[in-house]
Structure 1
């Protein structure tokens, strides 16, 4: 975490609003998603982008990051910014050691040694209760599970078993916070939080881009030429899709709002990408019909009239 600049990772100013942050995240997520970008470093870059968005998209987490910087998760919740700044200055002083002369500034009722031990885990002697550390684990979901949400039982080191509520529409790279399920505190102090990093498993049908889904739509030549209505499988059911006449391979047809749901806004879309297929072994009658079509058609897919 040391030196991490979440604003720099997303390429936004520190004054950026939530719309700018979301726009920057979506642009970068599309570029570096491991399912799209096969560069060996893309996955690590995508995780950095997701971490930055997770912190900056939550107002309270962003406020703590702006206040405490890279140490924002280690600073106890009841420590104010001024006290933390004084403690950090004392810790980084060339005269620092296991004891500090606090006569040069007012520390109020705060024990600098306890505060420094809690924040830095360094040379200061720890005394009294210490909150538990935050922890992180990966949670792999199918597209259907991400779409519907629900409950999942997880077995964690210890071992211990917990029940997790998965919000409907959770996206790849997002974090689910489980308050109080992290490391244990000492001397009665509260435990830390557990953060579940969501990873969507590769799907045999769907390709995922943020909240949008895409799938291949096989069509016969006559369906593509004349138009038709097909039934598509979508997460949680089926949907009707009208294929316009003259559809060629590669055309993307959109079903608005049929992607992953969004509890806070607009759901993603589902895109069906046309793939025109011909019979591998046409029957004699099919061959005759294709020959008749070839004889009367003036269509030239390689000509200027394309």
Structure 2
């Protein structure tokens, strides 16, 4: 006889999440499906009960109402106190007509498994997996590949540029070590073969498909296989020239700033951009100079007041001409 508690029927706790409920139902359905157990009334009853329990617990609204005691395990409204005392005859008539609390909770599923009602409550993919073994009038023992599993993984910008190995924690508690190839782009999908759902009848396991989200970087921006960044320089470094350290994705290098470099000047560090797999050359790091005055002391201000360039330029002349 089926339990009045759908949690007990599926063998899960009241705190079970949707995936635990789904897995418990699939396990019972595969073991007790009528096509696997012809003539076994007990197996058929267990399948029906599991199907009804899954139908209730997989619907968040129904599950919440059951947990609050508003509906019973068959999904029927729980009558207020005194209902059965005051309405015994009406309820008995309803049971006879198949419309009351004692009606078949499976919606007519017990009258044969070839009709549309036989799959009520089953996820379409689960139904396909369970019944796919019986196509062609008999049990199909041909190997069947497991289903692919899909996940998302966020990685740091430099891991995507240089390549790395990162661990992905799965919902079921398992871990996957994911190799991030050099040059990975945001939104790219990695395939880990054989790390998805288990195969059937000796078939191969499915794959794990991992969509990668690349986190932004505070000062690098990607441009294909090149990287771009702004490099702050002082007035003295821009006017007189200098050798200054520049951080790159694969270590610090020294960059020579030519004398009299203007703000916005671009310089290219070859091979310091996005790494490439298979021996291909890496991209470049394109550096744009950004002038930073910093602290202006009295001597510099006094010098500028008396300084008159021999060939003065108008930095806003082009703007006025185009206005």
- Normalising by the residue count of structure 1, what TM-score does the alignment of the two structures yield? 0.53
Q: Which whole-Å CA distance do the structure 1 matches of 2:208 and 2:305 have between them?
A: 66
CA distance change for structure 1 residues 289 and 127 in 2, over 3 Å: closer, same or farther? farther
Larger radius of gyration: 2
Which residue of structure 2 aligns with residue 14 of structure 1? none
Which residue of structure 2 aligns with residue 77 of structure 1? none
Do 1:208 and 1:214's aligned partners in 2 also have CA atoms closer than 8 Å? Answer: yes
Which residue of structure 2 aligns with residue 283 of structure 1? 297
Cα offset for 1:124? 6.0
Q: Is 1:301 aligned with 2:315?
A: yes
Which residue of structure 2 aligns with residue 219 of structure 1? 233
Q: Is 1:187 aligned with 2:201?
A: yes
Match of 2:140 among 103, 109, 127: 127
CA RMSD of aligned residues (A): 2.9
Structure 1 unaligned runs (5+)?
Answer: 1-97, 99-116
Q: Which whole-Å CA distance do the structure 1 matches of 2:291 and 2:250 have between them?
A: 26
CA distance change for structure 1 residues 229 and 168 in 2, over 3 Å: closer, same or farther? same
Q: Which whole-Å CA distance do the structure 1 matches of 2:272 and 2:156 have between them?
A: 16
Cα offset for 1:292? 3.5
Q: Is 1:235 aligned with 2:249?
A: yes
Q: Which moved more, 1:183-192 or 1:166-175?
A: 166-175
Which residue of structure 1 aligns with residue 263 of structure 2? 249
Q: Which whole-Å CA distance do the structure 1 matches of 2:214 and 2:306 have between them?
A: 48
CA distance change for structure 1 residues 219 and 293 in 2, over 3 Å: closer, same or farther? farther
Do 1:144 and 1:236's aligned partners in 2 also have CA atoms closer than 8 Å? Answer: no
CA distance change for structure 1 residues 212 and 199 in 2, over 3 Å: closer, same or farther? farther
Do 2:250 and 2:272's aligned partners in 1 also have CA atoms closer than 8 Å? Answer: no
Q: Which whole-Å CA distance do the structure 1 matches of 2:194 and 2:250 have between them?
A: 33
| Other structure's SS at 1:181 match | coil
Cα offset for 1:217? 0.8
Structure 2 unaligned runs (5+)?
Answer: 1-113, 115-127, 319-323
Q: Which whole-Å CA distance do the structure 2 matches of 1:131 and 1:143 have between them?
A: 35
- Normalising by the residue count of structure 2, what TM-score does the alignment of the two structures yield? 0.51
